[in-house]
Amino acid sequence: MKRLWVRHIREALHTGFADHIDMSDYTQASDSVREKSFLSRSLAALAVQRFTELSAAEAAATVVDGTGDNGIDAIAIDALQRRVILVQSKWDGSGDGSLGLGDSRNFTAGFKDLLDTKFDRFNARLRAQEAKITEALDDVNVTFILVVATTGRTELAAPSSAVFSDLLDEMNESQQVVSMETLGLSDFHSFISEGLGGSRIDFNVQLENWGTVSEPYEAYYGVVTAASVANWYEHFGDRLFSQNIRKALGNTSVNEAVTHTILKDPQHFWYFNNGVTALCESVKKTARGAASRTFGDFSLTGVSIVNGAQTVASIHQAAHKGEAGLNEAMVWVRFISLEGCPDGFATAVTRATNTQNTVETRDFVSLDPEQGRLCTELVLSLKKTYSIKRGEPVPSPEHGCTVVDATVALACANREPSFTVMAKSRMGSLWESAEKPYRTLFNPTVGPYRVWRCVEVMREVDATLTRLKGQLDGRPRSICLQGNRLVLHLVFRELDLQRIEDPEYDWPSELKRVPMLTEKSLTALTNSIDEAYPNNYLTSLFKNITKCRDLVQKVRSGTEGIDQGTDGK
């Protein structure tokens, strides 16, 4: 069976990618060598398609395999989901192989070089994407998926597995940044089968407290146990989301919250979660329970979940961490029958259920009277506009700021570095609670001058770092970009903030010091990182509260006169 599946995949790769994979560097190679390279590159492109909506030609363009690839065979930037997919692929004709220890080390080393923007260590194919990759790396919320793609075994040998485990432990020590997927023979065979009409999903479901909508199109709704939902994903995986605009996104903060609720607070899950919407070729009510709406059995054919993919995947993840809450947690579900629906209706439902505006933590902040007070005082005291709600016009820099600007600036001005880390990596956490940290930043003692002057410092630091960025490359440049908020915090610690609320204070003179202090802080921070954390991944370093607090202490202990006349609260 393995060799048969390998042959199926080989034929599918030739059919899908023969006209798209660049093989210009193998013109002098033997047919067997060229064929193996083509299959490995095509497999990398197919793996990219597994995580994106790219066409065959677009996926083939992500392949960077070749001399000097530094362990990375394909790299795709998913700007919409703010993630980077990196692939290492190995074609195995036996169906039994796996990724070796050397290849595992090369892959992780290449990933580290990429994070440090050491593009000189990569070939021309990857460097051609340098601008897009750099832009993605500059995004503090970007996540990474490392994909091992092979036509062999899914399970890695213990030494290779340990290489990736060590990487994930370091990168994800403070929050989820990197995830790993291993795609083997069975995964790829299932994937190509989906394109041959073999992906229809049929199953039966029991709905509790069910109801129905008959006009204009038939649909049924009710609740099911989380255990049932986990079972769907266990059997069908991401095939459940064949018509969705996105597949499961891995370990995002939202998904982690879903999993936490299932495990720790299952009785409230229905209240906290929006549930699942699925399109079906048909929905049939069976005879069982026909006289009652308490329970009803339904036969579903051609099921595709178009909204709630993250809920389903998170429930499945919770199932692997413990089954205690799965039977207690209830999930709201809708099954829409496409029988009798007009052409295009399925697409319209998919688009509509995935593009409705979501409520963000910022929206709740707008209800706080303190924000209204600051808005009024900024206008009356400084003639500055303060934009609080999403959708409001954003004032030009000289005429005002937003609540986002104010939150980041005030957080970095606080003496506690943990606020700076949150401003960099988990912005929403600064708004989530009515107590700490939100009340530390926004309370009756915080006036308009403090808000506006802190924002001015932030903008001056950002402008200086933008200028310095053009003079740097490699790891120092990455520190300049990813450590920008910690630099801002260090600058605030050197400024005299005791009189920041005083309208008569000679603030312009203090502000003039900021560019010099920014350069000084960046240099000191870079030196401290090189000394204390030379091998740390910068992406995760600046999200680690303990290490950032340590860096601040090291920088300040090595700088004379920092504490003279500072308050920084």
Between 134-143, 279-288, 313-322, the lowest mean confidence (pLDDT) is in 313-322
pLDDT confidence of residue 323: 65
- For residues 326 and 64, the model is more confident at 64
Q: Which helix (H) or strand (E) holds 192?
A: helix 185-194
pLDDT confidence of residue 198: 44
Question: In the chain, what is the straight-line distance between the N-terminal and C-terminal CA atoms, in Å?
Answer: 67
**Is residue 167 exposed (0-12), middle (13-18) or buried (19+ Cβ within 10 Å)?**
buried
Contact between 233 and 201 under an 8 Å Cβ cutoff? The reply is: no
Residue-wise pLDDT for 150-185, tens only, equals 999 988 999 999 999 999 988 887 778 899 999 999
Q: Which residue shows structure tokens 């910068």?
A: 538
What 3-state DSSP class applies to 540?
A: helix
Between 195-204, 354-363, 407-416, the lowest mean confidence (pLDDT) is in 354-363
pLDDT surpassing 60 at residue 334: yes
Distance between CA 21 and CA 63 in Å, rounded? Answer: 8
Averaged over 504-531, what is the pLDDT?
96
Q: What is the DSSP string of 278-308?
A: EEESEEEE-STTTT-SSEEEEEEES-EEEE-
Q: What is the DSSP string of 315-379?
A: HHHHHHH-STTTTT-EEEEEEEE-TTPPTTHHHHHHHHHHHSPPP-HHHHHTT-HHHHHHHHHHH
pLDDT confidence of residue 114: 93
Averaged over 35-51, what is the pLDDT?
94
pLDDT confidence of residue 340: 87
**Residue 40, C-beta contacts closer than 8 angstroms, at least 6 positions apart:** 65, 73, 89, 90, 91
pLDDT surpassing 60 at residue 410: yes
Distance between CA 501 and CA 450 in Å, rounded? Answer: 5
Closest CA to 184 of 160, 158, 151: 151
pLDDT confidence of residue 504: 93
pLDDT confidence of residue 25: 94
Confidence of residue 355 (pLDDT cuts 50, 70, 90): low
Residue 141 has which token pair?
């919320």
Contact between 255 and 314 under an 8 Å Cβ cutoff? The reply is: yes
Residue-wise pLDDT for 443-465, tens only, equals 999 999 999 999 999 999 999 99
pLDDT confidence of residue 562: 42
Taking the mean position of all CA atoms in its chain, how far away is CA 409? Answer: 24
pLDDT surpassing 60 at residue 127: yes
pTM exceeding the 0.85 threshold for the entire prediction: no
Q: Which residue shows structure tokens 């820099």?
A: 397
Residue 410 has which token pair?
């005030």
Closest CA to 152 of 100, 117, 219, 222: 100
* Amino acid letter, 162: A
Averaged over 384-399, what is the pLDDT?
91
Averaged over 473-501, what is the pLDDT?
93
User: 498 vs 417, 502, 505, 510, CA distance in Å?
Assistant: 19, 9, 10, 12
pLDDT surpassing 50 at residue 196: no
**Is residue 265 exposed (0-12), middle (13-18) or buried (19+ Cβ within 10 Å)?**
middle
Distance between CA 197 and CA 503 in Å, rounded? Answer: 71
Distance between CA 544 and CA 486 in Å, rounded? Answer: 11
Averaged over 369-386, what is the pLDDT?
95
Q: What is the mean pLDDT of the chain?
A: 87
Averaged over 417-439, what is the pLDDT?
84
For the ranges 304-313, 450-459, 529-538, the maximum mean pLDDT occurs at 450-459
Per domain, the residue ranges of the chain are 2-194, 203-355, 361-557
Between 120-124, 192-196, 204-208, 304-308, the lowest mean confidence (pLDDT) is in 192-196
Averaged over 305-322, what is the pLDDT?
82
Residue 224 has which token pair?
């099911």
pLDDT surpassing 80 at residue 41: yes
Q: Taking each helix axis from N to C terminus, what angle separates 417-425 and 403-413, rounded to the nearest 10 degrees?
A: 150
pLDDT surpassing 90 at residue 407: yes
Contact between 39 and 13 under an 8 Å Cβ cutoff? The reply is: yes
What 3-state DSSP class applies to 394?
A: coil
CA dihedral 356, 226, 221, 279 (to 10 degrees): 60
List phi, psi (to 5°) of 76.
-125, 135
pLDDT surpassing 70 at residue 518: yes
Can you list the alpha helix ranges (DSSP code H) found in 470-544? 474-482, 484-494, 507-511, 514-532, 538-541
DSSP type of residue 445: T
DSSP type of residue 396: P
Distance between CA 305 and CA 314 in Å, rounded? Answer: 14
- For residues 170 and 385, the model is more confident at 385
- For residues 456 and 427, the model is more confident at 456
Length reported for the chain: 569
Distance between CA 409 and CA 242 in Å, rounded? Answer: 43
> How many other C-beta atoms are found inside a 10 Å radius of the C-beta of residue 14?
15
Confidence of residue 357 (pLDDT cuts 50, 70, 90): low
Closest CA to 432 of 269, 249, 253: 253
